[in-house]
Amino acid sequence: MSALSGLNGRDAGETEPGRLEALDDGADNPHAIKLSLARELQALGDTEGARSLVEEVEAESVGDLKTQARQLLAEWA
């Protein structure tokens, strides 16, 4: 019996060899992740990188994420 067989309530045989599985349910939106990364970059002083990510989110997203991106751009202006 493998030492890893009990992880996540799965048997070792439930995963196909060579196939990666997500650690979570995959519900995170890529644009939300970009906004989070942009905030971290801004905190680290990389304003150009942060602004670039937020502009990308603002251009490609809709709804709440687009609003958040616009608010960040306004705050950083």
DSSP letters for 2-57: -TTTTGGG--GGGS-TT----SS-S---HHHHHHHHHHHHHHHT-HHHHHHHHHHH
The number of domains in the chain is 1
Q: Judge whether 59 lies within some domain.
A: yes
pLDDT tens by residue, 8-62: 555 555 556 666 555 444 357 899 999 999 999 999 999 999 999 999 999 999 9
Residue 77 has a pLDDT of 87
Q: Judge whether 48 lies within some domain.
A: yes
CATH number, residue 54: 1.20.58.2200
Q: Judge whether 4 lies within some domain.
A: no
Q: Judge whether 40 lies within some domain.
A: yes
Q: Judge whether 8 lies within some domain.
A: no
Q: Judge whether 19 lies within some domain.
A: no
Q: Which range of residues forms the domain containing residue 50?
A: 27-76
